[in-house]
Amino acid sequence: MVRNVVNRNIASEKSTTSGSDSAIELDAPIDASSIVYEGFVDAIGEEVQEQDRSATLSHLGLDSLSALVFLQTLGELGITELEIQDVLATKTIGDLIEKVDKLRSKGKPDIASIIYKGLVDALGEDIQRQDRSVVLAELGLDSLGALVFLQTLGELGITQLEIHEVLAANTIGDLIDTVDKQRAKETLAAAPVIVHEPEPEPIVIPARPGPAFAAPGSIDVTIIAADDAEKVFELPVEEKLCHFDHHCRAQCLEALELNDDQVDQVLPVTNVQARFVALAIDPEYYDTAKYVGRPQITHFVYKIPKDMDPARLQRAVDTLLPRYDCFRTVFVSVEHPVAPFAQCILSPSVACIPKTEVICNDTDAEDRNSLWSHTINGIQRAAEASMSVDKPGLNVAWV
């Protein structure tokens, strides 16, 4: 538990006399204002505590990266429904506090509603008319549908469910029972606890050139071993990221065969990303006897309107895509307590998005046996065969 939040919201506090440790008993929920300010402290810095609710987020320097840190802190404090666009679209601290307060007052939907919502997103609206005794396999739930289902549940606050647990459920009722048990575990884990917080020893850091690994909290992360999980998890978010970069960058550069200046950032993956990356490297999902295609890859086919200049559109796409970090990101397996994989954002000079151009004069899209249909399918299969986690996760084809 972060100290600032605890100090503002505890119902009772007991101090021990052994050394500088303190035992804090949490009996009351944290209010929305404290949650928001704690998120901003982690994302921007301690100076945010001096700002009143009328302070604008743009004035504070909130950008997309710090918004992600803010959301991570809120997630640890039980606020999982907020999206990054909700944060970036908010004007002031007070406005964001109101949003968080409304989310907390809504309460959690019942388990059955969550399950049916997830199945509707994965399989279609017809699921709403199905009884709980219906077998999931008969509804067409496969590994790809299970991933969509898990994504929806994650947005609704159920984040610990694994794909094998979904696929192991026989009926809708079984799935409801599984999630009900999972939520009970999460509720138990979130119950009031006693937190022991030793005061950190002051650290003197000599001035030296080079990367700012001693930055925000004046903690020199280079002296903390890569496998010292206990000390790593005690670090604030920014220092965790610095520690991860310091210890994992060399592993990533070696695996990718790149120089240091060719990788802009080395960050830990999120829990959702870890699931997808693990799925992408699992040889079980390459079994062509079981699966058609690769379940972790989605194809989007856009028909270009006749009144649009395709060459101009192509130039726009080629110019726009490299500007975004997500299209320059690759993944590497690493040894670090924060995450099993690193997401490496490549510099624009080395991030090459694969592109295919094909000419086909048979444009009968309605006939599944036409040359056009086979061309589209062939391009999709070729893209699947060539994609891997150590390459940017996007292929573009122009037909």
Average the pLDDT over 274-285 and give the result: 81
Three-state DSSP at 356 gives strand
What is the architecture, at CATH level 2, of domain 3-106? Orthogonal Bundle (1.10)
State in words which class domain 111-189 has: mainly alpha
State the CB neighbour count (10 A cutoff) for residue 182. Answer: 18
Q: Is the pLDDT confidence value at 302 over 60?
A: yes
Look up residue 29 and give its DSSP letter. P
- pLDDT tens digits along 99-124: 888 776 665 567 888 889 889 988 88
Q: Which fold has domain 233-398?
A: Chloramphenicol Acetyltransferase (3.30.559)
The rounded mean pLDDT for the chain is 78
Structural domain spans, the chain: 3-106, 111-189, 233-398
Is 375 in contact with 360 (CB distance < 8 Å)? yes
Q: At which residue do the structure tokens 């968080």 appear? A: 100
| Position with higher pLDDT, 202 vs 377 | 377
Residues 6+ positions from 156 with CB-CB distance below 8 Å? 81, 109, 114, 117, 118
Helix or strand holding residue 205 (H, E): none
The structure tokens listed for 169 are 């459920």
Predicted TM-score (pTM) of the model is 0.46
The amino acid occupying position 65 is L
Lay out the sheet containing 263-268: strands in order across. Answer: 263-268, 341-346, 329-333
Selection from 268, 393, 325, 347 nearest residue 64 by Cα: 325
The dihedral sign for the CA sequence 124, 130, 136, 138: negative
Average the pLDDT over 346-360 and give the result: 89
Please determine whether the domains at 3-106 and 111-189 fall in the same fold group of CATH.
yes
State the CB neighbour count (10 A cutoff) for residue 337. Answer: 18
Is 60 in contact with 92 (CB distance < 8 Å)? no
Task: Give the CA distances from residue 177 to residues 80, 126, 139, 227, 367, in Å, rounded to whole numbers and listed in that order.
Answer: 22, 21, 18, 37, 44
